[in-house]
Chains A and B, each alone.
Chain A
Amino acid sequence: MSGHHHDHDHTHDNHYTPIEARVKALETLMVEKGYVDPSALDAIVETYETKVGPRNGARIVARAWTDPAYAERLKADGTAAVAEMGYGGRGGEHIVACFNTPEEHNLIVCTLCSCYPWPVLGLPPVWYKSPPYRAKAVIDPRGTLADFGVSLPEGQRIRVWDSTAETRFLVIPMRPAGTEGWSEEKLASIVSRDSMIGTGLPRIEDAVEDAR
């Protein structure tokens, strides 16, 4: 932990903020008492910092856009179809893919805590875990989308999924017009994290020619 770069007027013997000091004390205790392996802690951080994130979900969406048989498998059994791509496990043991249609747009929330499909989207953003989103999404989904600058065509219904169990939901947005002939990689580059939560839509202007 680094605790030497803050410039507030709080003074503390060990140069840590109160929360940093608490976490440092907890980690020291857990390691010294042999409850956690320090290398396991580092491996967990590394996993969610560098390996598991929304690029996983974007690859799934791009494949579903280009491979109709895969899209059918994803609809029928999200967990198995996600596993085909090498993803799954903690925080996403049971995955359901929610396909947007011209008639219905899907929006994911967890009103009770912060349930989120970790293996395909990584750790949730702060707004997803915070009261404004958790309070508003179920009672005012259109107003919630407006907070993200998203407005849906008139006549498109909204389906809100409240993640009250260990089932995790991944929105499969509709493939935008004007992307005909694109590679899976280029398609994946326009699939934003928010478009897989339902608070955003893919935008062709975000495309990266070679996403690698």
Chain B
Amino acid sequence: MNSAHDLGGQMGFGPVVPEPNEPVFHADWEKRVLAINVAAGAMGAWTIDEIRHHRESLPPAQYLSSSYYEIWLAALDKALVKHGFLTSAELLSGTPAAERREPKRVLKGQEVPAVLRRGFPYDREAKAPARFAVGDAVRTLVMHPQHHTRLPRYARGKLGTIEHVTGCHVFPDSSAEGHHDEAQWLYTVVFTGKELWGRDGDPTSTVSIEAWESYLEPA
């Protein structure tokens, strides 16, 4: 969806301001949001793509004025309510009231190191050969779906070159909608600064995206 999260090339935010000697967390509540987010994700009710969609569906003004942990918290609330684990009333009161929904799994403390170390690989066995090969010229689609997509606006309708064929990976656009089994070939596609930004582009820079096969057509 075209929302505030799709930031590439937007202007007016001012310079990047790094914080010297930045701590890992700026407040204790951030630690708890990180941990609850990881542990709640491990219940297995939603994918990374769905939770990203909840984040980017926040109203643009809220998204842009929130810290990243605030964005995570708001999206987590939405996912927990949507999947029937908590109700809005419970979130307001902080007191359990509604019936418990049995999760697929609950991550135990002693499992944490192994689960984090293993992660959640996104590559899948390919069911068909890759349509494109390294060096092929491709054009990205022009599309403006209402749903989740990982093709950024600045890279739509642009002429690029396949630099790498990564493998077959879970397709985020459908995974976010609950269809977790669809996988597509994934490619690294490189664009010149001029192709992306015209006369305002840096002629000495290139930009790549990771693009799923259905984002691309032969050029």
Contacts and interface: CB of A to CB of B under 8 A. Distances in A.
Given A93-B122, A126-B22, A144 B16 contact: yes
Contacts of B137: none
B77 interface: yes
B86 A29 contact: yes
Given A39-B109, A49-B31, A29 B90 contact: yes
Contact of B13 (A45, A136, A138, A160): A136
A212 B40 CA distance: 36
Contact of B122 (A39, A89, A166): A166
Contact of A166 (B29, B154, B169): B169
Given A29-B91, A90-B119, A135-B7, A45 B16 contact: no
Contacts of A33: 85-86, 96, 100
Contacts of B211: 164
Given A23-B32, A48-B34, A131 B7 contact: yes
Interface in A104-139: 109, 111-114, 119, 122-123, 125-127, 129-139
A177 to B, nearest CB: 24
Interface in A127-159: 127, 129-142, 144, 147-148, 157-159
A44 interface: yes
Contacts of A57: none
A140 B202 contact: yes
A41 B169 contact: no
A37 B106 contact: yes
Contacts of B26: 126
A165 B36 contact: no
A23 B186 contact: no
Contacts, number: 268
Interface residues of B, number: 96
Contacts of A39: 108-110
Interface residues of A, number: 81
A85 interface: no
A30 B40 contact: yes
B192 to A, nearest CB: 10
Contact of B205 (A37, A49, A93, A159): A159
Interface in A26-62: 26-30, 32-45, 47-49, 53
Nearest to A44: B35
B150 A1 contact: no
30 contacts: A23-B73, A24-B29, A25-B92, A29-B95, A35-B39, A35-B43, A36-B39, A37-B107, A37-B108, A37-B109, A40-B35, A45-B35, A47-B112, A90-B119, A92-B119, A94-B166, A126-B22, A127-B16, A127-B19, A130-B16, A131-B64, A133-B16, A137-B8, A138-B196, A139-B196, A144-B16, A164-B209, A165-B122, A165-B186, A166-B169
Q: What 8 A-B pairs are tightest by C-beta distance, nearest first? A: A39-B109, A25-B94, A165-B210, A111-B8, A89-B119, A43-B112, A41-B35, A132-B13
Interface of B: 5-11, 13-19, 22, 24-29, 31-36, 38-40, 43, 48, 52, 55-56, 64, 67-68, 70, 73, 76-77, 85-86, 90-96, 100, 103, 106-113, 115-123, 150-152, 154-155, 166, 169-170, 172, 186, 188, 190, 196-197, 200-202, 204-212
Interface of A: 1-3, 19-30, 32-45, 47-49, 53, 88-94, 109, 111-114, 119, 122-123, 125-127, 129-142, 144, 147-148, 157-167, 194, 199
